[in-house]
Amino acid sequence: MNKILIAVDDTKGSKNVLGVFQNLVRPPQEVLLLHVQRLEGRSLMIDMLSDSELSTLKESLQGTDHKEKLDRHSEKVLNYYRKEFENSGLFNIRTIIREGIPADEILKVADEEKVDLIVVGSNGKRGLNRLITGCVSYEVERNASVPVIVEKPETREVVHGIKGVSPQLA
């Protein structure tokens, strides 16, 4: 495998990607670390903006304090993950910062760079929270044209049944 795209942000769920090469997955020749800056609110809010609205938003943010803060933040996140991956013996790492709709940007970068695999973390959002705030891993899984690994937290409460009904109750 040549190129892997790993999408990271500052959430706890994202940290799960660090374990990805520990077993079973073949380490690649090149790793692309991508952080997508969320210009406004939750991912569902930005979903509702059209492309032109989004580019207006991008322009209006240029040079403001808010944008500088976002940039510093991205640097911090990417440096953290770069260091962690370097500690585990991966050195060919390229970092990319994009702005806009996270799932869209991840898919765009995957297309442009012709990666062989996308790795995303899952924050384990469920139910209403997932519906309201949107879920990047789902969007990526649905719309990618290359294989996707969704990394899960080490331990979490297990719920069976489509609505979380336990077998005894059903």
Interaction site with another protein (CB under 8 A)? 1, 16, 20, 23-26, 47-51, 53, 101, 104, 107, 116-117, 122, 126, 130, 137-138, 141-153, 155-156, 158-162, 165, 167, 170
Q: How many C-beta neighbours within 10 Å does residue 148 have? A: 18
The nearer residue to another protein, 90 or 146, going by C-beta atoms, is 146
Give the nearest distance from C-beta 81 to another protein in angstroms.
17
Residues 6+ apart with CB under 8 A from 110: 5, 118, 144, 146
Between residues 132 and 165, which has the closer beta carbon with respect to another protein?
165
For 122-160, what is the HEC assignment? CCCCCHHHHHHHCCHHHHHHHHCCCCEEEECCCCCCCCC
Query: Is the distance from CB of 151 to CB of 16 less than 8 angstroms?
Result: yes
For residue 116, the SS3 value is coil
Q: Among residues 6 and 117, whose Cβ is nearest to another protein?
A: 117
Least Cβ distance, residue 148 to another protein (angstroms)? 5
Residue 149 Cβ vs another protein, minimum distance, rounded to whole Å: 5
Nearer to another protein, 33 or 106 (CB): 106
The SS3 assignment for 35 reads strand
Nearest to another protein of 22, 65 (CB atom): 22
Residue 33 beta carbon to another protein: minimum distance, rounded to whole angstroms? 18
Whole-angstrom Cα distance, residue 45 to residue 147?
Answer: 27
- The angle at the Cα of 17, spanning 14 to 19, to the nearest 5 degrees, equals 135
The least CB distance from residue 85 to another protein, in Å, is 17
